[in-house]
Amino acid sequence: MPIIDKVFNCVQVQFTYEELVEIFTIAQERNGNKTEKNVPSYVKGNELTQYEKHIIGAYGEMAFALHMKLEVDRTIFHKGDNGVDFTYKDKTIDIKTTTKNEEQQLTFKRIDKFKADIAILAQIVSPNCVRLLSCTTKENFKRNAVQMYNNDSLSLGTNQMARYVDWFWKD
């Protein structure tokens, strides 16, 4: 159930048991029922398995869907969703989910990877809770993102984004 977290000034979503089951079901479907889920988490140093990436993504998408009263897209794409998780009121939306408390930055590997009109940064804070931290338009990201020091990725801090994820849809 979505609530406003007054400490973090954002939307926080608590999942029911049934919603958690759906998150893991979506991740399993996206993973193609592969046995890869049994591969250790850190196969190449710091990398997650595809299954773990699907779980993390499904957490953020489910949180946004519950907040906006939408359905998570269950379509299975061969090579990803092309950077669009939802379409709402003629705007395309990409949900980026992190598991790290200190990493409150929206990051794309390259500017051309920001395909949607709007990107939303979600953060898993516990096994049954996600915060929808902030959101930005593609134009704001292009204007304000900075290149990361350790690679070519571009990043934008939450202080340069709108705090309430439904800000774009206020009538």
- How far apart CA 49 and CA 125 sit, in angstroms, is 20
Report the pLDDT averaged over residues 86-110. 86
**pTM for the predicted model, two decimal places:** 0.84
CB 93, CB 119: distance < 8 Å: yes
Would you state the pLDDT for residue 41? 41
Residue 5 reports pLDDT greater than 50: yes
Statement: residue 47 has pLDDT above 90: no
